[in-house]
A and B are shown apart, each in its own frame.
Chain A
């Protein structure tokens, strides 16, 4: 038995370098979040200050991203608008996930009647045309940051409930849940200690995607004139304003649109990555 034969030439694949597909979206989202937080301290001009002589100026050294229909500084408005969009984008799904997650987890864990009720509720919510529901809601309660966030939050309940229900169903049948019951753990403890930590990563990944969906939805509301009220800037509102001057000053609509596009794309990328990364069994290999 000769063990002398030449070893096959082997190129071992080393640990994957942080890929561009992860680094670029991460950098972009980090930049947007950083600017939104520090907007007040980095010497930006007032986003609401109008200078009608300087309206619709293209980007220049003085106005890096130009000015809008009312002569307000676009860069400042993009950054402050990012703050608004992020607040709505982050808080609305958070609210939705808190409620939807609780509904979904209870449905998946208790099954039976609870499940029937929950699924019925989700289906009813889904049966309403999404945007119409949000429009009605905002029109009825009045336009404010809080109401827009609340309306969009309610809209994200069904999706959150579905994701958490499906994940809970998968985890609740595991033997470790049975083991927790053999030691007499309460349902609350099993839900929070055994199941929740396993459902959270999938919820987090989905939440990232939901943030991007809500940012777009807020844009749509603004477009229909029921978004965040002026003069507070938001990306959706800026696109809506810029639409009037699309022929003479296209940058007023295109720049916020591009920023929104990049942010949404990045969040989607990250959501997909997180889903793969946080799985402990997969990262074990």
Chain B
């Protein structure tokens, strides 16, 4: 992430853009996002609903096609290979082999009429050339690995016969079956209970470490990001507004939105009835964006410049933030 290029980043994204034509005009869901991700690291993408997290990562892997009326721009490289302009067929190949994906709702990503063992083995047959018997054996091994009891029996069941937590484990098994270099997890635990969420996140983290995969973990829960990510990118209204290591984000946010978000969280360490510092207003309408910083209307540190000009994600000592009055500077908002 932090510009220190040794062997180059695994994933490099430059100026990613996604627009949707809607009846109210062009909706800029993702508006010029750039980042690098090194092998073996976990990038947490946080931001509220509609900030463009899902659209961003889906556009990287060709899942927001021009077919849906979306306009996709920018440059994406995985291991040096340019992913833009890849045919749909090559993407399919890439998705099973080099990139694994885990979605929020495993029920929609699993095939309801195919046995679990077969779904896990499918990628191995297609991408690794395993025969059915070998793929089935490997599927059972993967079920053991993701912590599913009685793997042989489970392999011959259908998704609806499993609990939500188990389905997500199966989705993870499918995602890691072909040893991808990059694992993308889009809110993998939002639909699950805290205790189950904990187990799934532990599993994801263990797999990521053991296999040296890079991981993109999308979440709107700052607690999840704090515990699991090495670096964090904060998104607001389709833009990356702050990027830094996890500790830097939580210890000393520079962008006022990040700070406001952290301060608005209720904390277990505070006594009951502690007043929360709420962020006034709400996020802008992406189809009607004016000039200037999109957080300006809600920002307590805004100046005249914030409404006139759009701050770009500046780089300072390896971290980035898009703000004219960053926190912790003498000229700016101060602490």
Contact = CB atoms under 8 A, between A and B. Distances in A.
B17 A8 contact: yes
Contact of B19 (A2, A3, A10): A10
Contacts of B26: 10, 12
Contacts of B74: 5
Interface residues of B, number: 23
A3 B17 contact: no
Interface in B7-21: 14-15, 17, 19, 21
Nearest to B315: A1
Interface string A224-262: 000000000000000000000000000000000000000
Nearest to A283: B23
Contacts of B19: 8, 10
A226 B267 CA distance: 79
B9 to A, nearest CB: 14
Interface stretch (B65-73, B145-153, B178-186): B65-73
A15 interface: yes
B25 to A, nearest CB: 5
A15 B23 contact: yes
B21 A5 contact: no
Interface string A8-52: 111111111000000000000000000000000000000000000
B73 A13 contact: no
B123 interface: no
Given A10-B71, A13-B69, A5 B15 contact: yes
B320 A16 contact: no
A12 B32 CA distance: 18
Contact of A16 (B15, B23, B73): B23
B73 A5 contact: yes
B87 interface: no
B329 interface: no
A1 B313 contact: yes
Chain A interface helix/strand/loop/mixed: loop
Contacts of A1: 34, 312-315, 320
A7 interface: yes
Interface in B161-184: none
B22 interface: yes
B73 A8 contact: yes
B189 to A, nearest CB: 25
Given A1-B313, A3-B32, A8 B72 contact: yes
Nearest to B239: A3
A63 B72 CA distance: 62
A18 to B, nearest CB: 14
Contacts of B32: 3, 5
B21 A12 contact: yes
A183 interface: no
Interface residues of A, number: 15
A156 to B, nearest CB: 36
A285 B312 CA distance: 30
A13 to B, nearest CB: 4
A2 B314 CA distance: 9
A239 B24 CA distance: 49
A28 to B, nearest CB: 27
A3 B22 contact: no
Contacts of B14: 2, 5
B105 to A, nearest CB: 21
A2 B17 CA distance: 13
Contacts of B71: 8-10
B23 A285 contact: yes
Interface string B31-44: 01010000000000
Interface in B306-325: 310, 312-315, 320
Nearest to B18: A8
Q: From B23, B313, B320, name the one whose CB has the most chain A CB atoms within 10 angstroms.
A: B23
Contacts of A10: 19, 21, 26, 71
A88 B289 CA distance: 53
A3 B15 contact: yes
Contacts of B25: 12
Interface string B224-246: 00000000000000000000000
Contact of A3 (B23, B72, B73, B312): B312
Contacts of A3: 15, 32, 310, 312
Nearest to A13: B21
Nearest to B320: A1
Contacts of A12: 21, 25-26
B194 to A, nearest CB: 24
A2 B15 contact: yes
Nearest to B75: A5
A285 B19 CA distance: 15
B64 to A, nearest CB: 13
Interface in B291-316: 310, 312-315
Contact of B73 (A7, A14, A15, A285): A7
Contacts of A5: 14-15, 32, 73-74
A16 B32 CA distance: 29
Contacts of B21: 10-13
Contacts of B312: 1, 3
Given A2-B14, A10-B26, 4 more contacts: A5-B14, A7-B73, A13-B21, A15-B23
13 contacts: A1-B312, A1-B320, A2-B34, A5-B15, A5-B74, A7-B73, A8-B17, A10-B21, A10-B71, A12-B21, A13-B22, A13-B23, A285-B22
The 6 closest A-B pairs by CB, nearest first: A8-B73, A13-B21, A1-B313, A5-B15, A12-B26, A12-B21
